[in-house]
Each structure stands twice: as structure tokens, then as C-alpha cells.
Amino acid sequence: METTILPVDPQKLGNITLRKSEADLVDEWEIKYEEGKDYESLQRAAEELVNTDTPVAFPTETVYGLGADATRSSAVKAIFAAKGRPADNPLIVHFHSLPQLRALLSGRRESVDGIAEAGHDPIPEIYRPLIERFWPGPLTIILPAPANSTLAPEVTAGLTTFGARMPRSILALSLLRLCGRPLAAPSANASTRPSPTAAEHVFDDLHGRIHTIIDGGPCEVGVESTVVDGLSSPPSILRPGGIAVEQLRQCPGWENVAIGYKDKQEGGTNKPRAPGMKYRHYSPKAEVVLFEVGAEKPGVGEIRTRKSVGFIRTRNWTTALGHDVHGTKTMHPNGSTSNPAQATHIPECTPPRLSNLLRSVIQHQVPHAHQYTLKDGGTVVWDIDLGADTEGVARGLFSALRELDKKGVEVIYVEGIDDTNGDDIAAAVMNRLRKAAEIRT
């Protein structure tokens, strides 16, 4: 099938109104759409989700998702087919509002207001402080699947629970509202490949397998959502991601949250409780070698044995690792040689729930590779500097892996970052890399 990329500018969709909710955990938003190409493209994607089984790729704040109607088995099966995803790997379900989530938990197909106010909130109490602080945002919560669930059985992969989240992306939220369906949506990549943080990444993996990719620009966070299980005692983190451990521990009931994931794929015959726990993941085509903090960097003798290599640098490695090379670092239009993927600091706003929605339209540039040639041996070197800021590394990691794959390098050497100081974004980055790479310490 033909695959089309449809650019959609969130600022051209229409007038968005945000207002603080006095009765519920998440602020309310409304949008008055403006006629034009952006709205028409989003409407086309929504109609495709409702009327066909072919999944649609769309941006969230974390990575691009591959969405389909979570209540229709034929549509959900098409996600697994397009990705080549193992059938026992459960999917996360995305919602545009708490009423929509409560309706599903209560066995209804349509959103129903007033459930929480009537004292019959089906969302477990343990999650209320997390939802209030982090939704919309990069946090997935594990919920019990109701006996009369309208979810397609393929979503849960045979489990009695499912993952739910409300994305912090006005494009994703608008698409969810337009189609009126909860969307099962794993990352929009071929299974085991690096997660896509730009529309072109989706196209590289899935062209010919889906019809539509909504292009909302690069993703803000760059790694998937944190997955938490509040149904266990103590609560646990099943996958590190965009919300840090220390942020979770500041919430009532989550002070002693435990780590429930491993840095290597778990394998075995057990069903994974959350995506990313069991199978090899995040891997580019090239060999990847991860250098843990403090490990000796690759020497010129090793590099010289390859025709082309890629470097992904963070804090301490210098350009081309300081080896003697031909080539000049590309200058950016402003005259700076700094990496465009460097983090942009986003100050916290008050109230925090409102800031979650306000941040939904923030976009970032992707990293670029600079070419050099090793003077002693002629090896072609492609160099990417993600900078020392952890959020910048997270945002640019998957793009960098894909960029170097496109250059046809034989091996990618990655400078790891310190994940022992309680920074959960760093933990998420290193978790992904350890699942994709040979590790040197």
C-alpha cells in the first residue's frame, strides 16, 4: 500500500481553550477547529481509524505511536502485523480524557461525566496523585481490565490488566477526540528497531505497511512513557521513561516505589507485564557498542579495522574522540557549532496540571551527524554530539541511532551517561541502550 506523510502544525488546528477543573484530577481543554489542510489531515486520520483496520502513525510527546481502535480485534491485530510484534507483548491504550477512561473501566463505550463525582470512581485511589501531577504526560498506569471490558483481547495479551495513559501532545489528544475511540498504540517502528521520534523514522520502518503518518515534528521527550504498577505492594516501576523515580516518590502512596524492570530483555516463557520487558528492542541495523561511564573509549587501532563508524557522544568524549581526522565540523546558521538537539530548559508553571497541557505544543530539533575521515587508515567517521544534558540525550538518542544507520556505518560507539545518581531519565536512556548494545565497562 502507499504510505503518505501528512504534516500537521498544532498551532494551525484552531483555538485551544484550557481551564482548570474544580471537580476532577486533570484540567479540561477544548478546541475550536479552523478549516484548512492541518485539520483536514487530522480528520482524515481519525476517519481512517474509525472506518478501517489499518493503523495510523501519530506523534506523542514521547515517541511516535502506531494507533488503532483498542475495542476492535481486527484493528488491533493489524498493529501486530504491521510491526512484526510478538502477540504476547501487551499494548498501551491512549485516552483523551478521564471520562473516556472511566467509561471503558465501567464497561461503557461512550464517555460519561459524573462517575467520579458520584463516588464510584473506577480508577484506583493509588493513582490519583500521579494522574493529578503527571497527566497528560509520559506516564502509563497499570489498571485492572473489567470483566465486561470493551477492549479487544489482543490489547492485554492474555493479562488481567492493561496499561493506560493520556499523552501530552495536543495532536494526539485531538486525534483521540476526533475519532472518539481509545487507541491502542505501541511505538510506530518495526519490532526490535529504535523507537521513532520523527515522522521519517516511521516511514523508514513502516512504508508500505500503513497508509497514513501524521507528522507533528520531532518528539519532546524522546523515550517512552514510564510504566508503573500501583496494583502491587509496594508499587513498582515496570519500565523507566519520561517520569523520574524521585518525582514518583514525592507523591502520596509512592514513597517506597520499587524497581520492577531489568536492563536486559527478560526472555523466558512468562508474559511480560508491560511493553519492553521481554523482547530485544531499540536496536539499529548496525552493531552498537555501549561504553559505560568510566570505560576506556575505543582506540584508533580498533576503529581502523572498519570502513565506517559512528560516534554518539554525551559528556566527556571529544569530537571524533580526539583522533586525527580530516574534516571540519558543520557550522549552524547562527554561527554556532553546538548541537541543535541540546536541551531547551522548560520552566515549571503553576499550576503543574496546566503546564502539562501548555507544554504539548513544544517541539525540538533532531541531532545531525558530522563527517570526518581518519587520517591513519581512511575510516569514515560520523560524529553526533548529544551534549551533557540528560533530557537532551534522551530526546536525541533514537534519532541519533537512526541517523547513523542511514549513513551505513558498521558499528556505533555510544558514550554512556551516569544513571547511578537517581536521575530516572538517565536510567531510561541506559535501559534502552543496554537492551540494544554490546556493553563495555
pLDDT of residue 42 exceeding 60, the answer is yes
| Integer Cα distance of 198 and 44 in angstroms | 20
Residue range 304-319: mean pLDDT, rounded: 93
Give SS3 for 179: helix
pLDDT of residue 153 exceeding 90, the answer is yes
H or E segment to which residue 382 belongs: strand 380-385
pLDDT at site 355:
64
Q: Which of 202-211, 275-284, 372-381, 422-431 has the highest mean pLDDT?
A: 202-211
pLDDT at site 363:
45
> Is the peptide bond preceding residue 298 cis, with omega within 30 degrees of 0?
no
Which amino acid would we find at residue 118?
Answer: A
Residue range 314-331: mean pLDDT, rounded: 79
Contacts of 261 (CB under 8 A, 6+ apart): 237, 238, 239, 240, 277, 431
Q: How confident is the model at residue 327 (pLDDT cuts 50, 70, 90)?
A: confident
| Integer Cα distance of 441 and 437 in angstroms | 12
pLDDT of residue 389 exceeding 90, the answer is no
Residue range 187-196: mean pLDDT, rounded: 90
pLDDT at site 257:
94
Q: How confident is the model at residue 220 (pLDDT cuts 50, 70, 90)?
A: confident
| Integer Cα distance of 299 and 376 in angstroms | 12
| Integer Cα distance of 164 and 178 in angstroms | 19
Residue range 202-223: mean pLDDT, rounded: 93
Average pLDDT, the chain: 84
Q: Which of 51-65, 190-204, 268-282, 345-359 has the highest mean pLDDT?
A: 51-65
- Dihedral of CA 40/219/310/387: which sign? positive
pLDDT of residue 120 exceeding 80, the answer is no
Grid cell for residue 287: 552493531
The proportion of the chain whose per-residue pLDDT surpasses 90, expressed as a percent, equals 52
List, for residues 237-294, the tens digit of each pLDDT value. Answer: 999 888 988 899 999 999 999 988 876 555 555 555 555 554 445 567 889 999 999 8
List, for residues 155-187, the tens digit of each pLDDT value. Answer: 998 899 999 999 999 999 999 999 999 999 999
pLDDT at site 333:
32
Cell match 512504508: residue?
207
pTM, 2 dp: 0.74
Cα distances from 389 to residues 210, 362, 425, in angstroms, run: 35, 18, 10
pLDDT at site 273:
58
CA dihedral of residues 150, 153, 157, 163 (deg, nearest 10): -10
pLDDT at site 15:
85
Cα distances from 84 to residues 27, 81, 318, in angstroms, run: 37, 5, 38
The DSSP call for residue 149 is: -
pLDDT at site 260:
86
Give SS3 for 353: helix
pLDDT at site 283:
67
Grid cell for residue 177: 477526540
Q: Determine the topology of domain 4-259 in CATH.
A: DHBP synthase (3.90.870)
| Integer Cα distance of 258 and 48 in angstroms | 41
SS3 content of the chain, % helix, strand, coil (to 5): 30, 20, 50
Are 8 and 174 in contact, with CB atoms under 8 Å apart?
Answer: no
Grid cell for residue 110: 461512550
Cell match 494522574: residue?
131
Are 416 and 291 in contact, with CB atoms under 8 Å apart?
Answer: yes
Sequence-ordered strand ranges (E) for 103-235: 139-144, 161-165, 183-184, 212-215, 226-229
pLDDT at site 111:
54
Are 104 and 150 in contact, with CB atoms under 8 Å apart?
Answer: yes
pLDDT of residue 10 exceeding 70, the answer is yes
pLDDT of residue 349 exceeding 60, the answer is no
Cα distances from 391 to residues 237, 311, 394, 400, in angstroms, run: 20, 19, 5, 14
Q: Determine the topology of domain 287-330+368-440 in CATH.
A: Rossmann fold (3.40.50)
Grid cell for residue 57: 502513525
Are 237 and 247 in contact, with CB atoms under 8 Å apart?
Answer: no
| Integer Cα distance of 97 and 148 in angstroms | 21
Of residues 222 and 278, more confidence is placed in 222
pLDDT at site 343:
34
Residue spans of the domains in the chain: they are 4-259, 287-330+368-440
pLDDT at site 212:
98
Residue range 395-420: mean pLDDT, rounded: 88
User: Which residue from 172, 150, 181 is spatially nearest to 62, judged by alpha carbons?
Assistant: 172
Equal CATH topology for 4-259 and 287-330+368-440: no
